[in-house]
Structures are given as C-alpha cells and as structure tokens.
Structure 1
Amino acid sequence: MRRNKQIDIKRALALASTLNFLCSCANACLLPFLTLYFRQLGLTPVMTGIIMGAKHLITLVWSPVASFLSKHYNKRRVVINGSLVCSAAVALLLLLIPHTDVRTQGVSCNISNLSSAPVQSTLTSNQTVSSFQPQTSPTTNHTKDLVSQPGVTFAAETLVYTKSPLVATSKPALDLKTDDKSLAHTGTLSQANISIVVNKSFSKPTISSSIFYPATSSSAVVVQKRSNLKNEEMQRRKTSEEGGQFDFLGRLKAMDPQHQLFFLVLIIVSVWEFVSAPLQWTADDGLYDYLDFADATDRYSSTGLWGLLGAACGVGGAGLLVSQLHCLIVDQTPRSAVHFYCYAGLATLALPAAACLPLYLNKKRNRANGFLKAMQLVQGSPRALLCAATTVLVSVAVSSVDNFLLWQMQDHGSNELHMGLSLSLGLLSQAAFPLLAARVSKLLSPGRLLVVGAATLGLQCLYYSFLWGPWAALVAQMLSCFSIGALWWAVKVQCKDVAIPGAEKSVRRVYSALTLHLGSGLGSIAGGFVVQRFGLTWQFRGVAVGLMVWCMCLLLLQWKAPRQRRINYSRLLTADASEASDSESEQERDWLDKAMEDDDGSNNNYAGWINH
C-alpha cells in the first residue's frame, strides 16, 4: 500500500529548494566572517588556519560516515532535525569566549561608542597613546607582540584598540623583562610613561618606556623575584605531573592565555562541525532516493541554484545589517555577535522545511559500493585524474581566499558592508555562468575551460594582493563567473563523461567531497603558516603564481593524455537489439531449412521459396 502512495515531485523539489536556500543563507551569514571573528579574539593566522583546516577535515571524514549510519538505522529525519538544532546551539557557545585586549574594528566604528569598553589606548596612523596599569593581564604583552609582526600588520585606517606593551630599551630593563608578570601583580610598577631604571652595576640611570623601578630596587630584589618565579614554575610543573600524564585540563591551565583560547575555540568549532556536517549529505541522499523512486533524478540538480542564491542573500544581508550597528551593542557585546544570532535564527527557521521534506529509504542501493566504484572510474581515466588534481589545487587557493580575504580588506579600510556586498556579488556572478555555458562550450572544450577557470582564479588572487581601498575587491569578485563558475561547470561535464548510468551522483561527490574538502583543509593550514611568516600580500601572490604554473603544466598534460571517446549507451542498446533480431531470424531460417529437407518433396518447395 505504501508503494501506491501518490508522489508529488514538485512539492518535494520546492521543500528541498527551500531547505537548501535557508541552510546556505544561514551558513553565509557566519562562515565567511568567522575568521574575522577569530582575528578579533586575538588568534594568530597559524591558529586560524589550523581551526579552519580541522573544520574541513572533519567534514571530509564524518559526512559520509554519518550519512551511511543514518541510512542504515533509518534515522535520516532525526539526523537532519538534530543537526539544525545542535549546530545553532553550539555556534552560540563561541560568544561565551571572552575577548582579548586586542580589538580590531572597522573605520566606521566611532571611538565614542567604545567609551564604556575596557580599553586603555588607541593606535592610529598619526599618534599612539600608551598607558600601563598594575593589574594588567599578562595577555597584553603576548598579544601585542603577535599583532606587531609583519604578517599580521593592520592598515593605518584600521583602528586597533589595545594596551601598550612593556618596552625595554636598556640592558637592566631587558634583564628584568622576565619579571614583569610577577612585578605587575605585586604592584611595584608605578604608573608613568617615562621612567628610570636604577641598578647598582650601572652608574648612570637608563631611560625606559612605560616601566618604573623604584630607586630602592637592587639586584637582590631582582634575584628574589626571579627565584619566586622559578619556584612558581616548578610548583606548577609538579602539580601537572601529579595530575597524570594525560591530564588535559591541567595542561590547559598551565598554558598561556592565548593558547588556552586557541584550544578552547578549536574544541568548540570541532564539536560544531561534528553536529552540522551530516546535514547536507543526509538531506541530499534522502531526496535523491525519493526522486529515484519516482524516476525523476534528472531534476535533482535544480536545487543547487537555490543554494547559491541563498548564500548571496545571507552574506550580503548580514554585512549590511552588521554595518548599521554600533561597535558595541547590548551589555558590551561586539556587533560581530549578530552573525551568530542570524545563523541560529535561520537554522531554526529551516526546521519546518526539514520536518516536511519527503524522504525515501532505498535499502537496495548500496552507497558505499557506489562511492568506491566512482573512485575507480575517476582513477581509470587520465583526464579525470587531471581534473581531480586541478580541483585540489583550486580548493587550496579558494580556502586561502575565503580565510584571509576579509583580513586583507579590513587592512585597507573595509567594513562589513563592503565585505558582504563583495562576497555577494561574487556568488551571484558564479551563479550566472550556466546562462553563458551554451555559448562558451562552443568556443572551449571542458578541458580548456578548466584551464581558463584556474587561470582566472590566479588573476583574482594577484589582484587581491594590490587592494587599495574599501571597494577595490568588487572588481575581482565579478570575475568569479569565469573562475569558480566555469571551473565547476567543467567538473560537472567531466563527471558525465566518466560516470556510468546511475553513478553520476557518486562521481560528483568524489570531486566535491574528497578533492574539495581535502584541498580546503590542507590549504587552510598551509595558508595560516604562510600568512604568519610572509604576510597577507605575499600569500595571495604565491597562490597566484602557483595556479599559473599549474595551468601551463595542465595544458601540456592534457595534450599528452590519451583521449577516450564517450560511450553512447543508446546506440549500444540499439545494436544489441539488431544483433538479437538477426540471430533470431537466422535460427528460424535454419529450423525451416532443416524441416523442409526432411520432407520428400522438399527440393521443389525449397527452390520455389528461394525464388519467391
């Protein structure tokens, strides 16, 4: 009786498109701005890259496993609804993490809006006001040193709110630099911008910035402070060893505040990705099985366009909304928290569509074997392997752009409005390429279009390294139509050429899952180290040079790769039918000949049948 249930394909596609639109809109409200929030917390580029790389690698491993388990136990709807609720709740946990003393604000932020914030100095392009208070946390020195590195420098237009570090310019001050933490808590430092350091071994006083050691200070006091610091360090190590070798919490408490912040953010983001990763795969599998049951799998790809439109609306709308707010909202909460609230609200709004989404469980189709078969198909085609390698390298470049483009724009005076509209324009330009695909395919083959897409992305990255103003990134974002849009269209054509009937979706997932998330994970980690070592500008230039070199190699490899003709299965079926009919007529003729030979008067009859 359940197989006779009426199937409404239009309703299923409408619900799937709505769910895809809302989920993409929710992700776009937060994920593009997530690395900017990490920068505001005070994390270094290396820490940011590791966190984003772990996020992609968790998706790579956990998404197919969770989809298989939900199908095996017939819990797809529970997994979809639970993923929406839990992801919204876990994402809000990031707001509970306290900010460090480093706050990077856009040019639209007014200093008067930050009068109630615990900020002690303001760094601009023309002046620096420094102050020091006895109860300052030791996080200030470490964070300021990280921000002052060449790879993480802020632009002159960007306002950086921080407390001034302790600067030691004389030898006694350098010797006493390790005692700043203990001296700050004992209150032996006086509040002065210019001070004198006195030591018995020096006859003349030495000028030092932001540090004042009283005249009664002597070498004995310094030695006593050092011994106290060593005793505290030994006691802390002893306590950590007593707690056990695998006492993670004890080791976390023994770390400096910035590393504590890093591990705390890494744990929350990992849990967040663990609960949100199964959503897309599980919903797609349920919808595909439902359309496959109704013999309408050709309409499955129509929901992908709504995902791009939802992402464009989400990133543009969130940037516009946040840019209209003050730097601090209720209860000294930074306005960047609005991104998290928008994500949670849209994820909750998608629950009715997820609850009504029609799902079908096809136990006869084994997705695991289909995925392995798809990998074998890609491995057996040289051109498919070149396409996969190109996708990995492009994913590395895209992850670098996604993680640190907003950092580069912020350094040149951009706020959330410029960022949101720029990213929204890029997504709309990417969604517009299918309208030009018919004309472009007549001029360029899919292999050549793959090269054009990678080369255009390299030009975009090179352009990003020369930004000069808030709106400068808009020009490069319009090229996304011929970079990411053209590249993924070429990948889809390659999937159709490689896949056998019924395996198109599995082959597409080999490219979207393995190559995309694998490349993004590796690119995020490597990009963080490059930005930390060489800076944002050289990171974009290095990616551009790497893509250009690969494009030249790709042209040569495509020219050397053997061409494989696509099999026309309709002609094979027609040929099989004709061969079967010929063999059947021959069998009938042999039987007739044998029957007529057995007859006494078969000679005349057989001759007459031949002549006729």
Structure 2
Amino acid sequence: MDKMELTEPVNLIKSVFVCNTFNFLFAAAKSCLFPFLTLYLRLLGLTATETGIIIGAKTISAFIFAPLWALCSAKFRKRRLVLMFSIFMMALTYLGLTLVMNVNHAATACPGDIPPGNMKGTLKELLHNIKTNRTDIQPTKTQLQLNQTGDITSLMKTSKSPLQPTDLPMTTTEKEKKVNKIFDYGRKLLIELGLSKAEVDGLSNSDMIGLFQDMLTQKNWQTTIRQSLSPEEMEEFFTFLDQAVDAISKGEIKVGKKITKRSLKDTWQNIKTNLKSLKTAWTVKITEAEVEGQIFLILLLTLVFGEVFASPVEKIADDAWFEFLEKIDNLEKYGKQRIFTSLAFIIFPIIVTLIVDNTTCLFSLRMHPISLHFYMFGGFLGLTFLVAFFYPTSNSEKRKYKTKITHALNLTFCKCEGLFYILTLLIVGAIYASYNNFLFWLIEDLHGKELTMGLCVSIANLAEIPMLFFSGPLVRKLGNGMAVCLSMTFLAGRTLFYSYLWTPWAVLPAEMTHAFTHTIMWYAVLSNPVFSSNPTVDRGVRSVFSSIYFGVGFSGGSILSGIVYDHYGVNILFRACAVIAIAWCPIFVIMNRCCARPSVSEIKYTRLLTSEDVNSDSDDDWLEHALKTG
C-alpha cells in the first residue's frame, strides 16, 4: 500500500491537493477542541493543578513517542498504515473523554435545567409574576400551631446579613420565633439561589410561599437546586419543606385564591416523596473529593496512553510530504501546506463557539453544548481519516538521522549563544503554557462567552499572517538578539494585561500581539547565522528548539502554572509571567553580547563540513505545529 516506485508517474497537482486537504481538515479538527480542552477539564471539576498535570503529562507523552513512531514507520515502510492508525487512536482517545462521568452533573446537564449562573434571571421572572398577581394572595396571618418537633434552630446557619421578616409581627412567644425562623431561612435560601437581599426583604411570607410553589413546579427543578446548593444547604432545604408543608396542612399559613391550600400541599407532598432520591444523590456528592480523584486518574491515564499512539499524526505526515517532494525534486512547494493549517485555525474556532453559545440542549439529548467541541472534532477527524487513504508517502529510510541531530545538538547545547537561546525558549514555552491553559478560565470567570474565546484563537492566528512579510526586515534591522528581546517585552506586556483584565472582550486586542510574541521570536531564533549551517542542519536545529519550547517548556510550564493558579490565583500567575519575561530580557541581551560569535569564515567552513548531509531526511517543526494551538 505504501510502496511507490521511482519510475511511477506522479500527479503533482493531485498530491498537492490531497496534502493541503489533509492539513486543512486535521487542523480544523484540532481547532474545534484542543484550545478548549481545559474548559472541559474544569467542567469535570478538576483543579488547576490537576489540569496542569494532565496537559503536561500529555505533552511529554507526545514529545517522546511521536519521533519513535515516525522512525519505526519509515524503517518498516508502513507510514500510511501508522498514519491512519494514529488518527483512529486520536479519535478514540478524545471522544472517549465524553464518557467520563461528572459528579457535579454539570457536563451532562442540559442548559434547559437552569444552571446556577442563570438561576437569578429565572427567579426574577417568577418574582415579577408573584408581585404582579399579589392581589390574588391574601396577606398571611399565621396562626402559630407548630408542634414541639418543629424546631429548626439547630439547622440555621449564622448569616453575615441577618434577614428580618417583613410582615410577621415579632412576639416573645417561642412558637412565633420558630415560625419566624422558618421564613427567615426561606429568605436566606432565595439569596443563596441568586436574588438580592433587597428583593427578598420585599417579599411577604405569602409571596415567598407562592415563589417556592412556582419554582418547585418548574421542569427540572431538582437538577437546578442540586447544582446551586451544597449538601448541608440541601438538608436545610428538606427541613424547610417539611416544616412548611406541615404548617400548610394545619392551616397555620393561609394562602389566597390563586394558590389553594390543596394544590400547594399536594405539590410539596410530591416533592417530599423525592427527598430520599435527592439525599442519595447528595450522599454521593459528599464523597465528591474521592470521585474527582478517580476522574483525575482516569483522564490522566486516558490522555497519556492515548497520546502514545495518537501523537505521530503530524510528524509522519510532515516527513512523508517532505520526502515525497524531495524525491521528485520539487522542494519549493514544501511548507505551503501550513497556510491551510492557519486558515483552519482562523475559521473554525469562531464557528464552533458561535454554535455552542447559541445551543441549549444538544440535539434534544440532554447533553451539555460543550460536547459539540468533541463531536465536531470527531467529524473533521473522520474526514481526515478518509483523505489519509490517498496521502502521498515515500518509503526511504532515515539514513542520516543521527548525524543531523548530532550537528544540531552541537550548535545549540555546545555553544554559549545557542545555550542562551535554549534557556530563552524554555522560559517562553513555560509562559505560553500558562496563558494557553488558563486564559479561558479567566474569561469564564468574567462571565465571557465561548465566542470570545474562539475569537482569541482566530485573531492570534490571523495576526501571524502579515508578520510573515515583516519579520525578515524587522529582524535584520534590529538584529537577532534585540528582536528576541522585543518579543519578550511584548510577552511581558501581554501577560501583565491579562492580569488586569476587567471584561472578557478586552482580551481581543491583546491577542494581536501574538505576532510579536510568537512569529518574530521564532524568526529571530531560526534565522540566526550561528544555527544556519545548511538546510539539513537548519531542520535539525528547528527540531531541537521546537522540542525545548513545545515539549519541555510547555509541559513544565503547564504543571507549574497550575500549582500557582491554585495557590495564588490567576492574576498573580500572569503577573509572575510578566516579571519573569521582562527580567530575562537584560540577562539575555548581556549574555548574547558576551558570547563569542563565530566569524564568517568559520560559518562557511562549518557549512562546507556538513554539506554532505543536505539530502538527509526531515525532522522539521512538526512539534511546533502539532502543539501550537492545541
């Protein structure tokens, strides 16, 4: 299936079309899910530390196994087979995440269940209806006939802002105090569910009864209450219902014409029959920490093990395309396929987030709209799998892989200037991981929509396009070292701006600086004459730098940023990133000037010595593009 003879005629137009289509569809799949993966992990109840560990471990797994699979597939001439197997395993791994049970019921609850964030608006509507029809409800004059078992004093919590009843005259009798506490708790419960203190204080006791009647007869109220209250608050709510139903049944609380005593009693009696199942659900939630720990381990093992087999997709495709073009002596077309990758990352994040924001209950199947990210990912990945049947491949073995990597390591790790570029990329990679993983958490905390997040991804990728034309002149004007320093300065400003973000939409202008913090940085590093011996070694150097940035730096930064997020908060995290970036600038400039630069003759001599490797195989920036937005 993979074999292609040298004498076989090649349809170059068809091959280019297949390659571009493959890259476009694969990038479309990644852009629908990978930038938003941490949002799903948060929805499952994972902490920032756990999220950072999962992302970091996943990255290391890909960093280790992708080149191994690529090397083996080339050696045994099974590139297309391994490519298709990896695509299948990627779909299996990430679509399998949707099967993970969420103990908070948030990832499986339909938005029609009224999530806590929308509870306030729903209660406001009910409150408006109650006040509009207040003439139908007679003022309550409670006859205090509670039995001796009705004391709920032990269940009441100390409130920071005690609520005073509005229409029950305070007396000194013990039974009056008990009834007052019942309605005080009812008011406190409404505040917990989202109403303001002023709105609650304006309610009479009969209004409150009517409001609870309307709320509890709403569809899916159990899910709503369960998402809004803690287990302890739920126990208090059960007692409140028991006491209120008991008082209504004895005629101690009078209701008006619209809400009859019989309908109210029947409704709340039916609710009481469900208390056992609700208590069972909350018994499970009391052990939530244990269950979430199990979910963390399941997700960690799933993604790490899945990346072992799914990681080489882009590496194999890139190597195969380069060798295919090299064999037909048409290497000038290599690299143009990345335009379609960028195009997909510009278009599809906006589309998928726009659909998610305007979807309530996905396909009427009571699934959270975030599942749409996974299903669009699976759809595009399925199309990618079909195109992979026709992907152009070459079967030449990696003849001089070790020689190429040895030259690249000598240029980077064994020279002063190369070592400081390595340290710089390590720092920038860690900072990149910080905002790549947790910027959307900040936008979510500011009540931003997913469309804002999709625009962040699209604008960042769109900003790279014009900078491709200006990077060369700018780097030649400033010099490689100063261009890196300029990029670090923009990076510091970008992360500092994140820490003072006041509204979700304000993040969009900052995303345009991605052209400076990413595009110029990489152009300045890779165009440095110290690392430009010949095309073969250039590709090896790019592979080493990409591994440091997107492998070691990104994975380490993911873990560290998660720990900082949990202990100090997102604002401190971004400010720390800004301080590190700006503090490294003078160190880099000074050491870059102190390091002895090779002379022109030395560079030419090095190129002459390594010229025999010009035709060796590719280890291009596959890791950079695989993890760039994932």
User: Do they superpose with TM above 0.5?
Assistant: yes
Q: How many residues align?
A: 466
Q: Provide the rounded CA distance (Å) in 2 between the counterparts of 1:562 and 1:545.
A: 28
Q: Which residue of 2 aligns with 1:45?
A: 48
Task: Report if aligned partners of 2:475, 2:524 keep a CA contact under 8 Å in 1.
Answer: no
Change (3 A) 1:341 1:364: closer
Contact 1:426 1:478 in 2 (8 A): yes
Counterpart contact for 1:15–1:353, Cα < 8 Å: yes
The residue number in structure 2 matching 1:69 is 72
- 1:337 equivalenced with 2:402 (yes/no): no
Q: Does 1:398 align with 2:397?
A: no
Structure 2 equivalent of residue 356 of structure 1? 390
The answer for the alignment partner of 1:30 in structure 2 is 33
Say if 1:403 and 1:254 are closer, same or farther in 2 by CA, change over 3 A: closer
Counterpart amino acid of 1:335?
A: P
Equivalent residues in 2 for 1:106-125, closer than 5 Å = 113-115=112-114, 122=119
Alignment partners' CA distance in 2, 1:340 and 1:91? 7
> Quick one: distance in 2 between partners of 1:190 and 1:448?
64
Task: State which drifts further: 366-375 or 491-500.
Answer: 491-500
**CA pair 496-286 structure 1, distance change in 2 beyond 3 A:** farther
Letter in 1 for 2:308: F
- CA shift in 2, pair 1:37/1:460, >3 Å: same
d(CA) in 2 for partners of 1:428, 1:254: 42
Alpha-carbon distance change, 63 to 395 in structure 1, aligned in 2, over 3 angstroms: same
One-letter identity of the residue aligned with 1:405: L
Q: 2: CA distance between counterparts of 1:190 and 1:538?
A: 38
Which residue type is aligned with residue 22 of structure 1? L
Shift of 1:364: 6.0
Mapped to 1, the partners of 2:226 and 2:117 lie a distance apart of 8
Q: One-letter code of the match for 1:77?
A: R
Tell me which residue corresponds to 1:83.
Answer: 86
Aligned to 2:104: 101
Match of 1:306 in 2: 340
Q: Distance in 1 between matches of 2:54 and 2:500?
A: 27
Q: Are 2:57 and 1:57 equivalent residues in the alignment?
A: no
Return the offset for 1:194: 11
Query: CA separation in 1, counterparts of 2:401 and 2:27?
Result: 25
1:443 aligns with 2:477: yes
Q: Is the 8 A contact 2:350 2:455 kept in 1?
A: yes
Q: Which amino acid aligns with 2:227?
A: T
Structure 1 counterpart of 2:466, from 411, 432, 441:
432
Tell me by how many angstroms 1:363 deviates: 2.4
Aligned partners of 1:570, 1:300: CA distance in 2, in Å?
28
> Shift of the alpha carbon at 1:87?
1.1
Check 1:254–1:543 CA distance in 2 against 1; reply closer, same or farther (3 A cut).
closer
Counterpart in 2 of 1:165?
A: 230
What secondary structure does 1:502 align onto? helix
Q: What residue is the counterpart of 2:146 in the other structure?
A: none
The letter of the residue matching 2:351 is G
Segment of structure 1 superposing worse, 332-341 or 445-454: 445-454
CA contact (8 A) 1:114 1:328 kept: no
SS of equivalent to 1:88 = helix
Tell me how far 1:359 sits from its aligned partner. Answer: 1.2
Alpha-carbon distance, 1:446 to partner: 1.8
Please, which of 411, 420, 430 is the counterpart of residue 377 of structure 1? 411
Give distance in 2, aligned partners of 1:80 and 1:329.
32
Q: In 2, distance between residues paired with 1:571 and 1:89?
A: 47
Return the letter of the residue paired with 2:408. Answer: A
Aligned position for 1:191: 238
1:358 Cα offset (Å) = 1.5
Residue aligned with 2:597, SS: coil
Indicate conservation of the 8 Å contact 1:329/1:335, yes or no.
Answer: no
Partner of 1:226: none
Q: Could you report, residue by residue, the CA deviation over 1:33-70 in whole angstroms, capped at 9, with x for unpaired residues?
A: 11001111111111111100111110111111111111
TM-score where L is the length of structure 2: 0.68
Deviations along 1:500-547, one digit per CA (max 9) or x if unpaired, are 342222221111123321111000000110000001111111111111
Larger Rg: 1
The structure 1 residue matched to 2:329, chosen from 265, 275, 295, is 295
SS in 2 for 1:563: coil
Match 1:535 to one of 569, 575, 580: 569
Does the alignment pair 1:389 with 2:423?
A: yes
Instruction: Give the whole-Å Cα distance in 1 for the aligned partners of 2:448 and 2:226.
Output: 17
User: TM (normalized to structure 1)?
Assistant: 0.69
The 3 A distance-change label for structure 1 pair 290 and 120 is closer
Partner of 1:483: 517
Which residue type is aligned with residue 474 of structure 1?
L
Percent same amino acid at aligned positions? 25
Q: 1:275: how far off?
A: 2.4
Give structure 2 stretches of 5+ with no counterpart.
125-193, 196-223, 244-286, 612-630
SS at match of 1:351: helix
CA–CA separation in structure 2 for the residues paired with 1:565 and 1:292 = 32
Q: Deviations over 1:310-349 (max 9, x none)?
A: 2222322221221221165532110000000011111111
Give the aligned residue type for 2:113. L
Cα shift readout 1:555-592 (whole Å, capped 9, x = no counterpart): 1111111112355759998xx9xxxxxxxxxxxxxxxx
CA change 1:121–1:478 in 2 (3 A) is closer
Native 8 Å contact 1:64 1:281 kept in 2? yes
SS at match of 1:335: coil
Q: 1:423 aligns with which of 445, 452, 457?
A: 457
1:159-206 Cα offsets, whole Å, 9 max, x none, are 9983423569xxxxxxxxxxxxxxx9xxx988235999xxxxxxxxxx
CA distance in 2, matches of 1:410, 1:266: 23
Q: Does the Cα contact within 8 Å between 1:377 and 1:498 map onto a contact in 2? A: no
